Amino acid sequence: MLVCIPDVLTPDEVAYCRKVLDGAGWVDGKVTAGEQSAKAKYNLQVPEHSDESKELGQIVLKALGRNPTFTSAALPLRVYPPLFNRYDKGMNFHAHVDNAIRALPGTGFRIRTDVSSTLFLSDPEDYDGGELVIQDTYGTQTVKLPAGHMVVYPSTSLHSVNPVTRGSRWASFFWSQSLVKDDSKRALLYNFDLSIIETRKALPDDHPAVLGLTATYHNLVRQWAEI
């Protein structure tokens, strides 16, 4: 399941992130790539232990915490500290699958990557190319969103970034370990949650249908969640 979430960051937060990233020390993106993907990856990243990554990562994590759509779609148990990358003219990332397990060097932090997220920090008119291409269960999806918007997709997907032919594409990306590792179960819960939201608009909160659906949602999460 692929979900696009608008306005994860405010325009002010995007502008601040871009200002800090402008002064950051960018390095070759191969530093966080696995063996196969290192051969496929041509981009720049901000080092994950840098002050810039840490500060901006906190802004992104805070934004995720206030976003009910991210919570409902990803059902996050743990989120890897957000990373920041950029594709200048001529850069791209060929098709690959991200590593299943991600460990933060020098810490005991380790997650299984269930859900991948890309939070766009450049507006589409600032660059040509640079689309994120995701091979989803329902076919190939091409994603290019306004700055501050984010796409969430299963980490099991083969994905690539098309070559940038003009300008520069900046983004934050990160992985989440989900309470529910199976994407099809997560998709059911997400659609269930959306239906409950619609039902609550039409019926009072103490209506038996609202109570029953809400109870069933939570009991399904209880059945499927792994903590």
Bind-site residues for 2-oxoglutarate: 169
Question: Is residue 114 within the footprint of Ni ion (CB under 5 A)?
Answer: no
CB of 25 to Ni ion, least distance (A): 22
At 187, give phi and psi (nearest 5°): -65, -40
Q: Give yes or no for residue 98 binding Ni ion (CB under 5 A).
A: yes
Q: Please report, in range form, the residues annotated as the binding site.
A: 96, 98, 159, 169
Minimum CB separation of residue 153 from Ni ion in Å reads: 10
- Provide the token pair at 1: 């399941």
* Token reading at 137: 């269960």
Q: Which is nearer to Ni ion, 13 or 87 (CB)?
A: 87
Quote the least distance from Cβ 118 to Ni ion, whole Å: 9
Give the tokens for residue 68: 């009910």
If the CB atoms of residues 95 and 209 are measured against Ni ion, the closer one turns out to be 95
Q: Which stretch binds Ni ion (CB under 5 A): 93-101, 106-114, 193-201, 203-211?
A: 93-101
CA dist 192 and 25 (Å) reads 44
- Continuous H helices in the chain: 11-22, 35-38, 51-65, 68-74, 183-202, 208-224
To Ni ion, the closest distance from the beta carbon of 86 in angstroms equals 15
Q: Extract the tokens encoding 172.
A: 């934050």
CA 45 to chain centre: 16
Is 72 or 113 the residue whose CB approaches Ni ion more closely?
113
Which residues are annotated as part of the binding site for Fe cation? 96, 98, 159
Element counts in the chain: helices (H) and strands (E): 6, 17
Binding residues vs Ni ion (CB under 5 A) = 98
